[in-house]
Amino acid sequence: MVTAAKVLVSAAVLGESFAQAIPAYGQERQGAPVYACARVSHSPIEINCFVYEPDCAVVFDINIKELGVDFEHGLKSGGIIIANTQKSLEELGVTTPVSKYGAVDAWTITDKILGRVPPNAAMLGALARTTEWVKIEHICQALMESMPGRKGVLNADAARAAYEQTRVITF
């Protein structure tokens, strides 16, 4: 999540936006819930703190709800949810009214292209497709710059595949 937020910021800057990532390092153990905040704006960002009322929630693992984490918490009414699943909002138990929902099987895409690693690149591709806040080309460029060589190319491939496979529903 933290890496994805940093890559998102780089992609936004490539698109001539202003951006910042705010990582949250809580329980640093494998499987612990992790989150990170990112801001993207067309104007300078003068605040530097966590985002308490996000316009968008990107859910890398829907099983986080079983751990008692409410990924809808603070999400603005009319916000956007992007989830690593093929389930509907109703199946996820979402109650916040949203304007868009993006769903993608990022685990499968990532496993096929990169192996058993977190689905960062795929979720960034889904974010680009669903929100249109950043271009997929900028996501791919930022991935390749942050991970030189074959690793960057494969991550860009995962982002592109997720971009193409993301199902977007507008309400």
Average pLDDT over residues 22-26: 77
pLDDT in tens, 157-167: 999 999 999 99
Q: Domain of 74: which CATH number?
A: 3.40.920.10
Helix/strand/coil for 5: helix
Asked whether residue 42 is assigned to any structural domain, the reply reads: no
Q: What's the token pair of residue 118? A: 């977190």
Query: Who has greater pLDDT, 141 or 66?
Result: 141
What's the rounded Cα separation, in Å, for the pair 129 and 104?
A: 10
Token couple for 133: 């806040």
What value does the mean pLDDT take over residues 121-149?
Answer: 97
pLDDT at residue number 140: 98
Mean of per-residue pLDDT scores for the chain: 94
Over residues 112-132, the mean pLDDT reads 97
Closest CA to 18 of 56, 46, 51: 46
Neighbours of 113 (CB within 10 A): 19
- Confidence at 1, pLDDT banded by 50, 70, 90: confident
In a domain, 28, yes or no: no
pLDDT band for 28, please (50, 70, 90 cuts). Answer: low
pLDDT one-digit tens code per residue, 67-93: 888 999 999 999 999 999 999 999 999
For residue 29, tell me if it sits in a domain.
no
144 located within any domain: yes
**Residue 46 maps to a domain:** no
**Per-residue confidence at 97, pLDDT binned at 50, 70, 90?**
very high
Give the residue numbers spanning the domain of 114: 52-170
- Would residue 75 count as lying in a domain? yes
Number of folded domains that form the chain: 1
SS3 130: helix
Q: What is the pLDDT of residue 30?
A: 62
Neighbours of 25 (CB within 10 A): 8
Question: Do the domain assignments include residue 65?
Answer: yes
Q: Is the pLDDT of residue 40 over 90?
A: yes
In a domain, 25, yes or no: no
